[in-house]
Structure 1
Amino acid sequence: MADTSLRRAAAIGCGVIGAGWIARLRLNGVDVTASDPSPAAGRIIDAVHDNALMAWRELDLEPAPESIGSLTVCGSIDEAVADAQLVVESVPERLDVKHATLTQIDSAAPADAVIASSTSGFRPTVLAEPLGRPERLIVGHPFNPVYLLPLVEVVAGERTAAQAVDRAIDWYGSLGMHPLRVRAEIDAHIADRLMEAVWREALWLVNDGVATTEEIDDAIRYGFGLRWAQMGLFETYRIAGGEGGMRHFIGQFGECLTWPWTKLMDVPDLDDRLIDTIATQSDEQSGHLDVRELERIRDRNVAAMLLALERNAWGAGRTIAAMRERAE
């Protein structure tokens, strides 16, 4: 594993996440080979790439056409991974599908290739169970849109080699990402466990008729979501403690943890009634926009926030500044 620069990657599974990986890789000059049995894969890859170009244009980071990595869509996994340094697996979140796919990748990829699963929930030790060379499997969990959001959670399994993790982290950094080394295996890693907590509480608020989907989204995007986007949770609460800092904040609000403010230990039944309610409210909220238009609106908003954070040398803006330095 002596190679330090990423030049060739394979993407196995080309849905929203896989196509997002392809876009980020190619915009950083990496040649990509891809494989997906879906007849819609090519269309999705092209649509996501177009959105990524627009977003990078918003960031003033759009590369020259000749510096964009090539894309080769292959007829099989074996063909796609044959010469890859990094293989990104983004197939559906079913353990049987992932095991079958990863086993095929493991048997066909070069011995020194790093295999990175985009899984949002499975632990790498579980994913690596059927593999002959589990030492090169990691979890590299990104966030949608992969070409714009810098975070990637990097998780090692019980048999993952430290060198594979270090190599992947170096590569992710070269792609303008913020690799977060997760120090212990846990189902759903870090970020998804936090998002799941908010999601479960939101389901109860809709189920109990307390709020609609739009009202819940407004509570986030007009309020604490803006604080979280640039400072996270603990730093935000430290400020809420005033001059006394976090200790004062906990002294003020710690007692709230014993109050009945949450139903996180319980979940409403996702029966047809609740699903219909959520789907109907969501259609009323955003159904007048197609998904590609919503993606473009999202990407312009995220790009604008990243630029603001870059101007203040803060948070995720630092990844944009580092990308700009590399491009100069």
Structure 2
Amino acid sequence: MSQTEPRPAVRRVAVVGAGTIGASWTAWFLSRGLEVVASDPSPGAPDLIRRMVEGAWPILQGLGATADADPARWRFEADPVAAVAGCDFVQESAPERYEVKRPLLRAITAALPPEVVVASSSSGLLASRLSEECTHPERVVIGHPFNPPHLIPLVEVVGGATASAEAVRAAVAFYRAVGKRPITLNKEVPGHLANRLQAALWREAVHMVAEGVASVADVDAAISEGPGLRWALMGPHTTMHLAGGEGGMESFMRHLMPAVTSWWPSLGNPEVTPELQAKLIAGVAEANGGAGTQELARRRDAALARLLAARASSAG
């Protein structure tokens, strides 16, 4: 396909790798009126997809599923090569290891026409390494969602050193068309962008616990009851812009930036010893009253749906 010839509209998506992330992607794509062909080597994958779609569907309807959305419009193919046949876009969500993803991507790209974009949900691997043995590596990109993909709008699109600008544009256009908020990274780095920001914050959170500055519960509250509420509305740069008052970022740089940068040398780089791991594990259990991960995820998803609805109603 030439650089100027338009790509066909995406109507059928292959979700290759149908664990938690892939099943969540499936629910979202179905809610946008797409047909999905899912594939995974696990015999329990079809049941996981079914439970994910059924559980998420009421929330997705509340968030504005399209009129042609059908929760039953998916089928399962254990063979990934058979799954991608006739699909217009591939969302790969296999385990986060080069030795798993690379042969899988090699097999599916060999079976696809060159215009079909293959996006990996990888949370930190490099697109250029994933595509090394692929047929038409220029159409392999990172399309990294934030968990759970059926609720969080963000998708990081990374082409790296090998993907074409056309493939990156096509991936961004696809994600935007299905209601996501894609961002594009100009160069590839391990962990991409959002996970690196998240890792930097958590490193300091772990340091604060390790140094006995605060408990796990209070460290979490320092974010969820403070800046985390603002970050749900705007990012760190715009937040600091407002912190500068009427003078905005210029005023912040002049009056507040010297104080902020004076803290940077004391930021921590903790050694995560077995003792610190045990302290964090016990602290998380105490902070959440012993609630299990499934219950916490249920609470999170319900709250996320309300937050997304509130943001949509107040968008100006």
**TM-score, normalisation: structure 1:** 0.88
With over 3 angstroms needed to count, the CA separation of the structure-2 counterparts of 1:261 and 1:158, relative to structure 1, is closer
With over 3 angstroms needed to count, the CA separation of the structure-2 counterparts of 1:262 and 1:74, relative to structure 1, is farther
Higher relative contact order (CA 8 A, sep 6+): 1
Paired position in structure 1 for 2:98: 95
Paired position in structure 2 for 1:319: none
Equivalent of residue 119 in structure 2, options 116, 121, 124: 116
What amino acid does structure 2 have at the position aligned with 1:298? Answer: R
User: Secondary structure at the residue paired with 1:184?
Assistant: coil
Long gaps (5+) in structure 1: 315-328
The range that moved more, 275-284 or 40-49, is 40-49
Paired position in structure 2 for 1:26: 30
User: Secondary structure at the residue paired with 1:140?
Assistant: strand
* 1:181 Cα deviation from its structure 2 partner: 1.7
Paired position in structure 1 for 2:231: 228
With over 3 angstroms needed to count, the CA separation of the structure-2 counterparts of 1:279 and 1:38, relative to structure 1, is farther
Give the distance between the partners of 1:54 and 1:213, measured in 2 at CA.
34
Paired position in structure 1 for 2:165: 162
Paired position in structure 2 for 1:43: 47
Equivalent of residue 106 in structure 1, options 106, 109, 115: 109
Is it true that 1:279 corresponds to 2:281 in the alignment?
A: yes
Equivalent of residue 271 in structure 2, options 269, 272, 275: 269
Paired position in structure 2 for 1:55: 59
Give the distance between the partners of 1:54 and 1:267, measured in 2 at CA.
43
Contact 2:13/2:37 (<8 A) preserved: yes
What amino acid does structure 1 have at the position aligned with 2:173? Answer: D
Across the two proteins, how many residue pairs are aligned to each other?
Answer: 312
Superposed, 1:139-178 pairs within 5 Å as: 139-178=142-181
Contact 1:24/1:146 (<8 A) preserved: yes
Paired position in structure 2 for 1:191: 194
With over 3 angstroms needed to count, the CA separation of the structure-2 counterparts of 1:295 and 1:51, relative to structure 1, is farther
Contact 1:10/1:32 (<8 A) preserved: yes
User: Secondary structure at the residue paired with 2:123?
Assistant: coil
Paired position in structure 2 for 1:7: 11
With over 3 angstroms needed to count, the CA separation of the structure-2 counterparts of 1:229 and 1:262, relative to structure 1, is farther
The range that moved more, 66-75 or 155-164, is 66-75
Give the distance between the partners of 1:255 and 1:196, measured in 2 at CA.
24
Equivalent of residue 298 in structure 1, options 297, 300, 304: 300
User: Secondary structure at the residue paired with 1:55?
Assistant: helix
* 1:26 Cα deviation from its structure 2 partner: 1.0
User: Secondary structure at the residue paired with 2:226?
Assistant: helix
Give the distance between the partners of 1:224 and 1:67, measured in 2 at CA.
38
Alpha-carbon deviations, 1:285-327, whole Å to 9, x = none? 336433333222112211222222212225xxxxxxxxxxxxx
What amino acid does structure 2 have at the position aligned with 1:90? Answer: S
* 1:39 Cα deviation from its structure 2 partner: 3.2
Equivalent of residue 82 in structure 2, options 79, 82, 85: 79
User: Secondary structure at the residue paired with 1:67?
Assistant: coil
Give the distance between the partners of 1:262 and 1:300, measured in 2 at CA.
39
Give the distance between the partners of 2:289 and 2:94, measured in 1 at CA.
27
Give the distance between the partners of 1:92 and 1:171, measured in 2 at CA.
23
Alpha-carbon deviations, 1:30-54, whole Å to 9, x = none? 1111111223323332232233213
Give the distance between the partners of 2:109 and 2:289, measured in 1 at CA.
42
* 1:64 Cα deviation from its structure 2 partner: 6.2
What amino acid does structure 2 have at the position aligned with 1:22? Answer: T
Identity %: 39
CA RMSD of aligned residues (A): 2.1
* 1:69 Cα deviation from its structure 2 partner: 6.0
The range that moved more, 251-260 or 116-125, is 251-260
Contact 2:27/2:71 (<8 A) preserved: no
* 1:258 Cα deviation from its structure 2 partner: 4.2
User: Secondary structure at the residue paired with 2:256?
Assistant: helix
Contact 2:94/2:100 (<8 A) preserved: yes
Contact 1:205/1:211 (<8 A) preserved: yes
* 1:7 Cα deviation from its structure 2 partner: 1.0
Long gaps (5+) in structure 2: none
**TM-score, normalisation: structure 2:** 0.91
Contact 1:84/1:110 (<8 A) preserved: no
Is it true that 1:249 corresponds to 2:248 in the alignment?
A: no
